Amino acid sequence: MTLENAWPELDNVLGDRVTRSKPELVAHGASESYFPLTLPEAVAYPESTEEVSALVRICAAHDVPVIGYGAGTSLEGQAQAFSGGLVVDFARMNKVLEVSQADMDARIQPGVTREALNEDLRATGLFFPVDPGANATLGGMASTRASGTTAVRYGTMRDNVLGLEVVLADGRVIRTGTRARKSAAGYDLTGLFVGAEGTLGLITEMVVRLHGQPEAVSAAVCAFDTIGDAVRAVTDTIQIGIPMARIEFVDAASVAAVNAYSGMDMPLKPHLLVEFHGSEAGVAEQAESFGEILADHKGRGFQWAVTAEDRKALWTVRHHAHWAILAGRKGARAVVTDICVPISRLAETVEATQADLEAHGIAGPILGHVGDGNFHAILLFDPDDPAELDRVKAAADRMVTLALKMGGTATGEHGIGIGKKGFMPREHGEAWQVMGQIKQALDPKGVFNPGKLAPDAK
């Protein structure tokens, strides 16, 4: 059956908030990574859980695929409608419903972006810490189990989502979790949907954990002669227990790109960018200990930034890196891939990845959240050269093979989508088939985000 059969019912529920206009389809068919433009059949803009439930029931009855959509910043094709169907855009479900300062949590709708939430929290002394770089929606971040620059201290979305409201494939609405900080009551259904990438249900409400704004924040940047020196400094920092809020790595190629893009003048060497949160005395003590580690690993050019303006300028090198790297090769696109390994194997893995890219003549600047063993490679290719795309994807495959050999994972934060689905059997073995059984149990008709993450139905 097709969307045409479902259209009268969808139109009856949403009216002009469900559309098949070409500009809307194009806007929801693109990806920030290498996937081609893939148009859905329609886009819906619900405003309530009841409307989402009605949409899902209609689509399930007519075998129309349903794909949840936040800000469209996912990198493995999670939000693209490769099987056609209806994209459900949560842009109008973007309210902060309740903030509890005493309990340090907030109840929100999935279309709230992380920047909008933190703006809403400014007067409370609280903030939401998970920062994947892009101004993503919290629903999308939960669906991909996002993390980012602050995960080394505050954890990922898995650690910061307390409960969910979810619409299931038959239209039922369930709530998972509670506002309590722990529970031993049954299966962890919140954890099941966080990271499911919209393949098991659509998130329509969330309770997220908040944190106190630190009394003092300071940041610093430091250059190294080699990638190995920089990454080994990270390993030592983590192992002795210095509580970093952020500890990011950029290689020399990333620095060169940002210098050209943002008019900066950083030395063309690998750099660490770090940030400390805490009391004035605690931050000073942490910085002193970190400085000693840097000296042991030949760090140089150590520069501090304490004011908000100076910190923002310092973090420009990290937050602009993706766009700067793309701008450095006119017309290029990128396979933006990530892997994550145990911290003790990080230096070895980063060095081996850089050597592999150089050996195969692939432009692939390396950067990432090395404080938790996670790093990225932005693998550039000419979109008009299929052979170059094949070489780049083969390099990404070798990165995953190396990560698994080191006891790591195919992705630390970008997720699986369709781009990394082929790696799932290698990483999970028979456990991937169990994921398929869960998918079959909750979504027997394969309505939600078909072809992504889980094994295809047999």
Dist CA 311 CA 304 (whole Å): 9
Question: In this prediction, what percent of the chain has a pLDDT beyond 90?
Answer: 76
CA distance 345 to 27: 41
pLDDT in tens, 62-109: 999 999 999 999 999 999 999 999 999 999 999 999 999 999 999 999
Q: At what angle do helices 227-239 and 280-296 cross, to 10 degrees?
A: 140
Backbone φ and ψ of 198, nearest 5°: 70, 15
> From its phi and psi, is residue 301 left (phi > 0), alpha (psi between -120 and 50) or beta?
left
Fold equal for 3-91 and 329-442: no
Q: Which one is predicted more confidently, 29 or 304?
A: 29
Task: Estimate the share of the chain in helix, then strand, then coil, as percent rounded to the nearest 5.
Answer: 40, 20, 40
pLDDT at 268 over 90: yes
Task: Tell me the mean pLDDT in the region 164-192.
Answer: 96
Mean pLDDT computed over 275-301: 89
452 within 8 A of 78, measured Cβ to Cβ: yes
Average pLDDT over residues 201-205: 98
Q: Quick check: 253 pLDDT over 70?
A: yes
User: 251 Cβ partners below 8 Å, 6+ apart?
Assistant: 227, 270, 354, 365, 366, 367
Q: Pick left, alpha or beta for residue 210 (phi over 0 → left; psi -120 to 50 → alpha; otherwise beta).
A: beta
Band the pLDDT of 458: cuts 50, 70, 90. low
Q: How far apart are alpha carbons 405 and 426 in whole angstroms?
A: 11
- pLDDT at res. 358: 95
pTM of the predicted model as reported, rounded to 2 decimal places: 0.94
Residue in the structure block whose two tokens are 């999970």: 428
pLDDT of residue 1: 54
Question: What ranges do the domains of the chain cover?
Answer: 3-91, 96-212, 216-322, 329-442
What is the mean predicted confidence (pLDDT) over 205-217?
Answer: 95
CATH topology of domain 3-91: 3.30.43
pLDDT of residue 307: 80
391-445 pLDDT, tens digit each: 999 999 999 999 999 999 999 999 999 999 999 999 999 999 999 999 999 999 9
CATH number of 329-442: 3.30.70.2740
Dist CA 207 CA 213 (whole Å): 19
- What is the β-pairing status of strands 366-368 and 244-250? antiparallel
Q: What is the mean pLDDT of the chain?
A: 93
pLDDT recorded at residue 33: 84
What phi, psi does 163 have (nearest 5°)? -165, 165
**Was domain 216-322 assigned CATH 3.30.70.2190?**
yes
d(CA 315, CA 129): 16
pLDDT score for 284: 87
State both tokens at 77: 């094709």
Residue 313, pLDDT above cutoff 80 = no
User: Class for domain 96-212, per CATH?
Assistant: alpha beta
pLDDT band with cut points at 50, 70 and 90 for residue 240: confident
Longest CA pairwise span in the chain (Å): 69
Nearest residue to 251 via CA among 276, 278, 224, 221: 224
What stretches of 124-215 adopt beta strand conformation (E)?
126-127, 161-167, 173-177, 202-209, 211-212
Q: What φ, ψ does residue 429 adopt, rounded to 5°?
A: 60, -135
What is the C-alpha separation between 149 and 278, in angstroms, rounded? Answer: 17
- In this prediction, residue 386 carries a pLDDT of 95
* pLDDT at 277 (0 to 100): 92
Confidence band (pLDDT; 50, 70, 90) for 53? very high
> How far apart are alpha carbons 39 and 43 in whole angstroms?
10
pLDDT value, residue 78: 96
- Which tokens in the block code for residue 280? 């004035």
Give the distance from CA 287 to its chain's centroid.
28
Give the percent of the chain with pLDDT over 70.
Answer: 100
- State mean pLDDT over 328-350: 92
Separation CA 194–CA 192 (nearest Å): 6
Contact 194, 164 (CB under 8 A): yes
When mean pLDDT is compared across 213-217, 259-263, 314-318, the lowest value belongs to 314-318
3-state DSSP assignment of residue 446: coil
CB 143 within 8 A of CB 196: yes
Residue 176 has pLDDT above 70, yes or no: yes
pLDDT of 262: 87
Sign, CA torsion 411/418/39/15: negative
Q: Does residue 108 contact residue 173 with C-beta atoms inside 8 Å?
A: no
pLDDT for 83 equals: 94
The yes-or-no verdict on residue 116 having pLDDT over 80 is yes
